[in-house]
Amino acid sequence: MIRAVAFDFDGVLVESVEVKTRAFARLFADEGVETVQRIVAYHLKNGGVPRFEKFQTIYRDILNRPLTDQKFQSLCQQFAEYVSEEVVAAPWVEGAEQFLSAHCERYLLFVISGTPEEELREIVGRRGMKKFFCAVLGAPRSNEILLHEIMRRHRLSPSDLVLVGDSETDWTAAREGGIPFVWRQASHDIPLLPGFSGPAIQSLTELDACLSALERHEVLKR
């Protein structure tokens, strides 16, 4: 029986993926158009990876130069300044607020995200969402660790918990934990997740029916 649902944040509860994409482009605008395009492509391909890791990979594999601690701290601070207000103001994913309101007493609800945990909690609080969740958890801990923590603290088995995410990072974390996964595929133009054949939904208006089908062990057609 499903007892708990964990959600990624950006692109699953809130339509804020584009906010983060613009922030990466803005941070590296001085590197030139082609380099910015490579950085944005990397960012989009690796949704759910904490920005700390992205900055390190960008400097090592794209810019090909060392990332000093001073520059790293500056990037982190600038990124937070660029995105925080916009994410607070971003629209809900269709059906998300309604699902949380209707089911916060039926299920244990959680947020897990690659966003730094302190920043994530502030955003959730400012959006008036905190009341829905048992915990709001973020970076620097990985999604795998966060899911394990949720199960340990709340005495859940993998089959008791469902993760709703929108990235390969989310899918990998669910798969490694043996946790059922629901993919929020915002558009049919988005490439399929490698190896994923489970349920996909375009909005959270479909999530209630999706969870009911999972409990009945039905195979949902994508």
Average pLDDT over every residue of 140-166? 96
Mean pLDDT of 16-32: 94
Our count of domains for the chain comes to 2
* Structure token digits, residue 207: 């999530």
Q: What is the pLDDT of residue 187?
A: 81
Say whether both 34 and 133 belong to one domain.
no
210 and 109 in a single domain? The answer is yes
Q: Measuring CA to CA, how many Å separate 130 from each of 8, 89, 153, 160, 162?
A: 14, 15, 19, 22, 19
222 lies in some domain: no
> How would residue 49 be classed by pLDDT, with cut points 50, 70 and 90?
confident
Residues 6 or more apart whose Cβ sits within 8 Å of residue 5: 103, 107, 108, 109, 110, 161, 162, 163, 164, 211
Same domain, 81 and 106: no
Structure tokens at 57: 């990979």
Residue 107 is part of a domain; what is its CATH number? 3.40.50.1000
Residues 103 and 201 in one domain: yes
Of 9-13, 97-101, 216-220, which gets the smallest average pLDDT?
Answer: 216-220
Does position 71 have pLDDT exceeding 70, yes or no? yes
Q: Which of 65, 89, 113 is the last residue of a domain?
A: 89
pLDDT in tens, 117-134: 999 999 999 999 999 999
In what side-by-side order are the strands of the sheet with 181-184?
A: 135-139, 108-116, 4-7, 161-165, 181-184, 200-201
Percent of the chain clearing pLDDT 70 (strictly above) = 98
Question: What pLDDT score does 222 carry?
Answer: 45
pLDDT, mean of residues 159-181: 95
| pLDDT one-digit tens code per residue, 173-219 | 999 999 999 999 988 778 888 888 889 999 999 999 999 999 887 55
Mean pLDDT of the residues in the chain:
93
> Is residue 180 within 8 Å of residue 61, measured between CB atoms?
no
Residue 35 CB neighbour total at 10 angstroms = 15
Write down the residue that tokens 């959730």 correspond to: 124
Residues 119 and 186 grouped into a single domain: yes
- pLDDT value of position 200: 93
Is residue 22 one of the residues assigned to a domain? yes
- Are 100 and 196 in the same domain? yes
Per-residue pLDDT band for 67 (boundaries 50, 70, 90) equals very high
- Position 160: which residue type? D
Residue-range definition of the domain harbouring residue 63 = 17-89
Does residue 166 sit in the same domain as residue 77? no
* Residue 221 maps to a domain: no
pLDDT of residue 221: 45
Q: How confident is the model at residue 7 (pLDDT cuts 50, 70, 90)?
A: very high
The β-bridge relationship of strands 4-7 and 108-116 is parallel
- Say yes or no: 182 and 193 in one domain: yes
**82 with 104, same domain?**
no
pLDDT at position 189: 77
* Domain co-membership, 102 together with 140: yes
Last residue of a domain, one of 89, 121, 153: 89
CB–CB of 151/161 below 8 Å?
yes
What integer pLDDT is reported at residue 218 of this predicted model? 56
Domain check: are 124 and 137 in the same one?
A: yes
118/206 same-domain check: yes
Domain end residue (candidates: 89, 115, 142): 89
Cβ neighbourhood burial of 182 (10 Å; 0-12, 13-18, 19+): buried
Predicted local confidence at residue 216, as pLDDT:
80
The percentage of the chain sitting over the pLDDT mark of 90, rounded to a whole number, equals 83
The beta strand positions in 140-180, using DSSP E, are 161-165
